[in-house]
Structure 1
Amino acid sequence: MKRNRLGQSDLYVSEIGLGCMSLGTEEGPAVRIIHEALDAGVNFLDTADLYDHGRNEEIVGKAIKGRRSEVIVATKVGNRRIPGQEGWVWDPSKAYIKQAVHESLRRLGTDYIDLYQLHGGTIDDPIDETIEAFEELKQEGLIRYYGISSIRPNVIREYVRRSNIVSLMSQYSMLDRRPEEETLRLIESRGISLIARGPLAGGILTENGAAKAEKDYLDYGKDELREVRKRLMELCSGGRTLVQTALRYALADPAVATVIPGASSLEQLRQNLSAAAAPPLTEEEIAAIRAVTRANRYGLHR
């Protein structure tokens, strides 16, 4: 599988990675999905301490035992669970980040994290303190590189300007083209890569996604969404499936290093991985897709 350099780092990630959030909590099936992905050439696994109360990191750790050198492990920090309290609170403080990393390392069964990401962020955060935490973790050898996972343009701009992030994780798909408006050219100009999450738009952009299109998605009403999905399926050409077309669309932008569709079954994983062998989209195909979809713009959370 093709590998792309992640930002200005020395990490070369498979163009199709595995978003681990949807693996579930049963170790056996989840480990089988991860192992099949690794055997197929995937080397980028993305998890977070928040997923399934840390269980997701534990499962990833089990799966990579004995194969650590083959894998680029990415996880996230910032959402803090407080014992006895429902949900979580946002905590981007230096003290918490430097505490939480040790729990992630323990669950993952490793002594370093390849890519440690801030799992959100607001413009009111103590951004310099957050950056200082990541820089110290690099110096201590506990992480190799750091990035952010955010959709907020103002937050993204601050980290691009003030930090040494190598990556930005953000939602990006044929139905969520918001990064095209403000983000992609900005990060490309600074040598930062996009990790595209949600490239299948919550399953809408799959062959079996008709039921998923029966409700609103971003600024698409369900009637419009049903029609747009139909037209996108009609545009699939060159023998590509809708899944392959969707993943190739996100990968067509030069700022995108990898897409990380999730998989809760081996069948879903195989459908996703088939995009690695599908031909890239032509400029004409990209233009046709953009003609039937919307160039969305960020509204809230700026």
Structure 2
Amino acid sequence: MQKRRLGSSDLEISELALGCMSLGTDELHAQRVIHTALEEGINYFDTADLYDFGDNERIVGMALKSIREDVVIATKVGNRWNEQKDGWGWDPSKAYIKEQVKKSLNRLGTEYIDLYQLHGGTTEDPIEETIEAFEELKAEGYIRFYGISSIRPNVIREYVEKSGIVSVMMQYSLLDRRPEEMVLPLLSEQGISVVCRGTLAKGLLTEKKWEYFSASFKKNGYLKYSSLELQELLSLLKEKVAPERPMTEIAAQYCLAQPAVSAVVIGASSPEQVKNNARAVQSQRLSKEEIDLIQELTRADIYQEHR
């Protein structure tokens, strides 16, 4: 599998990252999924301290322990479980970040985190204090590089101007083209990589047939697409763009065609899903004509909030 540089870092990451949130808590099954990812050439694994109350980090760390130097482990911080463990709040404070990194390191069973990411953020946060925490952790050797996970342009701009982030994880797909208006050009210009989540739009951009989608999609649609618009668009994409290719390939290749994008993070709950996703990422690139057609058929919406 091809690799790309992550921003200004020296990390070379596979174009497909395994989103580990979907692994579950069955350790043997999770290990099979992770080992399949390794066999497919994936070296980039994304988790968070929030997932399964930190158990996800522990499972990921155990599965990768024997090849730690050969993989890139990314995790996230900022969401704080309440005492009842039935909800969480937001805490981007320096004290919390510096306390939690040690817990993540312990669960992961590693001496350092390759990419430590702020798991959200608002303009009301103490951004300078948050940045200071990440910079200190980097200087102290606990983390190699840091980034943020955000879809808010006003937050992203603050970190671009004030911090040393190497990446931004954000929702981006051919059904959610909002980042194209201002965020992708800004990050590309600054040499900061985009790591895409939501590439498959909650399964809409797969081979799954419409009748098997959830009642929520059928009633409410997706983002600004109504249910009827979605059905028509998915049919048109399949018919006009690449009728002989799986929709998963089109979805992955559309994101990877953006200059700012270094990888797509796609979750998998089975070895078969990992293999399908790897095939999509390793498939033929989209032509300029195919990309133009996709953009003609889909909406170039913009962010209405957090501008």
Q: Where do 4+ consecutive residues of structure 1 move more than 3 Å?
A: none
SS of 2:16's equivalent in the other structure is coil
Matched, 1:161 2:166: no
Deviations 1:13-56 (A, max 9, x none): 00111111111121111111111101111000001000111111
Distance 1:20 1:69 in 2: 19
* Equivalence for 1:281: 286
Alignment partner of 1:242 is 2:244: no
Report what 1:267 is aligned to.
Answer: 272
Give 1:236 shift.
4.3
Partner in structure 2 of residue 136 of structure 1:
136
Taking the aligned partners of 2:47 and 2:92, their CA distance within structure 1 comes to 18
Task: Answer whether contact 2:81 2:87 (CA < 8 A) is retained.
Answer: yes
CA distance in 1, matches of 2:34, 2:193: 24
Q: Does the alignment pair 1:26 with 2:26?
A: yes
* C-alpha separation in 2, matches of 1:182 and 1:76: 25
1:55-70 residue pairs with structure 2 within 5 A?
55-70=55-70
Return the offset for 1:240.
Answer: 2.3
Counterpart of 1:74 in structure 2 is 74
Q: Is 1:221 the equivalent of 2:211?
A: no
Q: Give the aligned CA root-mean-square deviation in angstroms.
A: 1.2
Aligned partner of 1:205 in structure 2 is: 205
Q: Distance in 2 between matches of 1:103 and 1:300?
A: 34
Contact 1:173/1:246 (8 A) holds in 2: yes
CA contact (8 A) 2:49 2:75 kept: yes
1:248 and 1:50 mapped to 2: Cα distance?
29
Greater shift in the superposed pair: 170-179 or 270-279: 270-279
TM-score, with length taken from structure 1 = 0.97
Look up the SS of the partner of 1:31 in the other structure: helix
Letter in 2 for 1:285: E
Aligned residues: 302
Using the size of structure 2 for normalisation, the TM-score is 0.96
Mapped contact 1:203–1:209 kept (Cα < 8 A): no
Going from structure 1 to structure 2, the CA distance change for 1:205 and 1:85 (only over 3 Å counts) comes to closer
The answer as to whether partners of 2:173 and 2:198 remain within 8 angstroms in 1 is yes
Contact 2:241 2:294 in 1 (8 A): no
1:139 to partner: Cα distance: 0.5
Given that 2:241 and 2:293 are in contact with CA atoms closer than 8 Å, whether structure 1 keeps it comes out as: no
- Say if 1:7 and 1:167, in contact at 8 Å, map to a contact too: yes
Distance 1:205 1:133 in 2: 38
Q: What per-residue deviation string (whole Å, max 9, x for no partner) do you get for residues 120-174 of structure 1?
A: 0000000000000000000000000000000000000000000000000000111
Unmatched 5+ stretches in structure 1: none
Give the corresponding residue for 2:193.
193
The CA distance in 2 between the partners of 1:182 and 1:30, in whole Å, is: 37
Counterpart contact for 2:40–2:275, Cα < 8 Å: no
The question of whether the paired residues in 2 share the 8 Å contact of 1:206 and 1:242 is answered with yes
* 1:220 aligned partner, one-letter code: Y
Partner of 1:149 in structure 2? 149
| Distance in 2 of aligned mates of 1:76 and 1:239 | 38
Distance in 2 (CA, whole Å) between partners of 1:28 and 1:231 is 41
Contact 1:168 1:192 in 2 (8 A): yes
2:256 is aligned, of 251, 258, 262, to 251
Check the 8 A contact 1:2/1:276 in 2, yes or no: no
Question: Could you tell me which residue of structure 1 aligns to residue 43 of structure 2?
Answer: 43
In 1, distance between residues paired with 2:306 and 2:22? 25
Q: Which moved more, 1:231-240 or 1:219-228?
A: 231-240
2:20/2:45 contact within 8 Å kept = yes
Q: Distance in 1 between matches of 2:241 and 2:203?
A: 17
